Chains A and B, each alone.
Chain A
Amino acid sequence: MKLKELRFGTELLKRGFASMQKGGVIMDVVNADQAKLAEEAGAVAVMSLERVPSDIRKSGGVARMADPEKVIEIIDAVTIPVMGKVRIGHFVEAQVLETLGVDMIDESEVLTPADEQYHIDKKLFKVPFVCGARDLGEALRRINEGAAMIRTKGEAGTGNVVEAVRHMRNITGEIRRLKGMEYQEMIDYAREIEAPAELVIECSERGRLPVVNFSAGGIATPSDAAMMMQLGADGVFVGSGIFKSTSPERMAKAIVEAVNHFNDANVIARVSKGLGDAMPGLDVHTLRDDEVLQTRGR
């Protein structure tokens, strides 16, 4: 087969890759040892980053893409896919991660935005992107820019699932409401939520987003993860929840099993026993406006 007959970086390949992650847990890791632990525990992929969200919260300042050396260290340590975070709108950080061989890029509100007006034009890349969203309009704007996967934003680094729940209910609830609308109402609704009409209609026909929808931002326990799955998530991202708990290895395995058996309370009860402390939690209502991450990018 000649190389020119092969097509790379198509929409189908990007969405297909995202689809392979379904039913899985994607874990934040900051070094090779954590990546190996995550892989060993059954993670479908790891998210490589400089610091987990709760540490980003503590240290303040500008949070950027991880050091390429760190990313390569993680890529070399595991055989599962490796993802990486870039700042919203920072297309050069994305070009760098693509060159390094990262399998998916997270254009993430957890890092300090580089552009307050535009997100990255994701269709220009061969590598697929995942983006955060709080509601249907935001999800569809990201998909329109080329995102192959959506995740709820939640409120990262808090260990508090309340915002992830809010965002997942927003998205699934809005899609359910589309069912009762006639064509003209959908066009009007698309305008209201600032989303492309054809994507709104596609959601209505499929009864779901046109791409895989994961949950992220505050998942700290096996029950949190299973709850998000029952609310309709295709899989979960766990950020600080694993490596800020008292026994990361057991927590990682327990969350993988809880996602696998998300409808079986017996299994969730069993894996939750004696896990030690989950990560320290934060009440999102006590956050100052400038500490809230989910409002970055819209």
Chain B
Amino acid sequence: MDVRIGILALQGNVSEHIDAFRHALERMGRGTSSEVFEVRNTAEIAICNALAIPGGESTTISRLIEKNHLHEPLCTFSGGIFATCAGMVLMATRVDDVRVRTLGLIDMAVDRNAFGRQKESFEAELSIKGLKGGPFHAIFIRAPVATCVGTGVTVLSRMNQGVVGVEYGKHMALSFHPELSCDTRLHERFLKKLGVCFRSEQKTSDMSKLTLPDERQIQ
């Protein structure tokens, strides 16, 4: 399956997500047959089979979603959504701030800035459920947490303050910023769930194995 990944480019660290997805696709041997690009309107969202909602300011992104009439197209999007930090806030059903209108795509309640202000931002080695290759070097920047999650939502990782990573159907939402880590294992996992497989896993006569899953490592 070829994949078209749209990065919601309203505000925030968009280019890092583009680079991370391109890198992940390359590692999966899918670099040439897939596209990663910025999306800003309904027509651009409609041609994607995956979206990413990047980190940024959730109040600002929420307002721009309204202003650009993107609430409906995002809520009804049929593909998977990869959401980080502010993106995770937007995916929730409930948030501790009435001014943020969430998309309600993952049944969870989220607290914004749960760890405090920027000086309390941190890096940590995080163990993530089902992720091979050791702990994930996670970068938390004024990060949110999920304070409770609904049934059917898989918790990927948890800290004292709450849940910092979830999977639900095709969606993945993370408190931290994998796009800043130079480690694409979570991007790859998201893509695999969507049905994008490693070139080397395809049952074809093509034996040019560009990337093996077990070659993955933290750069």
Contacts and interface: CB of A to CB of B under 8 A. Distances in A.
A260 B56 CA distance: 13
Contacts of A17: 118, 121, 141-142
Interface string A9-47: 110110011011111100000000000000110111100
B72 interface: no
Nearest to A208: B15
Given A13-B139, A23-B14, A23-B56, A1 B118 contact: no
Contacts of B123: 6-7, 10, 12-13
Interface in A168-198: none
B141 A44 contact: no
A133 interface: no
A12 B64 contact: no
A128 B63 CA distance: 26
Interface string B56-71: 1101100110011000
Interface residues of B, number: 41
Nearest to A128: B118
B13 interface: yes
B57 A5 contact: no
Interface in B94-114: 97, 99, 112-113
Interface stretch (A97-105, A107-115, A285-293): A97-105
A7 B117 contact: no
A22 B141 contact: no
Interface stretch (B4-12, B22-30, B75-83, B185-193): B4-12
A297 interface: no
Contacts of A256: 60, 63
Interface in A75-89: 79-81
A103 B118 contact: yes
B119 A101 contact: yes
Give the residue among B10, B125, B141, B180 with the most A Cβ atoms within 10 A.
B141
A225 interface: no
A126 interface: yes
A103 B113 CA distance: 12
Interface string B73-95: 00000000000011000000000
A8 interface: yes
Contacts of B117: 81, 101-103
Given A8-B120, A19-B13, A43 B60 contact: yes
Interface residues of A, number: 37
A44 B11 contact: yes
A1 B16 CA distance: 27
A127 interface: yes
A257 B40 CA distance: 13
Given A22-B12, A42-B63, A103 B142 contact: yes
Contacts of B141: 13, 16-17, 20
A243 B123 CA distance: 38
Given A16-B139, A103-B142, A80 B57 contact: yes
B118 A5 contact: no
Contact of B121 (A13, A39, A79): A13
A39 B124 CA distance: 30
Give the residue among B55, B68, B121, B141 with the most A Cβ atoms within 10 A.
B121
Contact of A1 (B12, B56, B119, B160): B160
A250 to B, nearest CB: 14
Contacts of A126: 119
Given A104-B118, A126-B119, A24 B59 contact: no
Interface of A: 1, 5-10, 12-13, 16-17, 19-24, 39-40, 42-45, 79-81, 98, 101-104, 126-128, 256-257, 260
Given A12-B180, A23-B11, 10 more contacts: A1-B159, A1-B160, A6-B124, A12-B139, A16-B139, A22-B13, A23-B14, A42-B63, A44-B57, A260-B68
